[in-house]
Structure 1
């Protein structure tokens, strides 16, 4: 089954999510490699999400990164949502 094309709006949300995760990682003083190791993901996956190259990451992937950073999904949601309403 072919994957649905990602809309421009979804890409923008993906960029905001990536920025929120990168900001949380920097605030935690963690490297992308450490986050990847703790969340049991590849460094490329973490970097792709942080840079917005992966516009629509899976829920479980975001949840694993958030857990590694000690950040709640509610906090990420609020960060992404508040950016869109500015």
Structure 2
């Protein structure tokens, strides 16, 4: 299951799992803001926080991901 589907189904365990993976992967690439948001999402899922908070963080992650893609594309060309 992907993060969006986990949020839509309010699956806290899956949100926690996917957020943990994103936290680790983004940390490997020094994408600190992405890693920090994913870490907060992971902790909030553990604590049973509501779906709206996860959705807000998911949107932030998508925005950061787009910024990273743009920056990488500029470097690759």
TM-score (norm 2): 0.41
TM-score (norm 1): 0.38
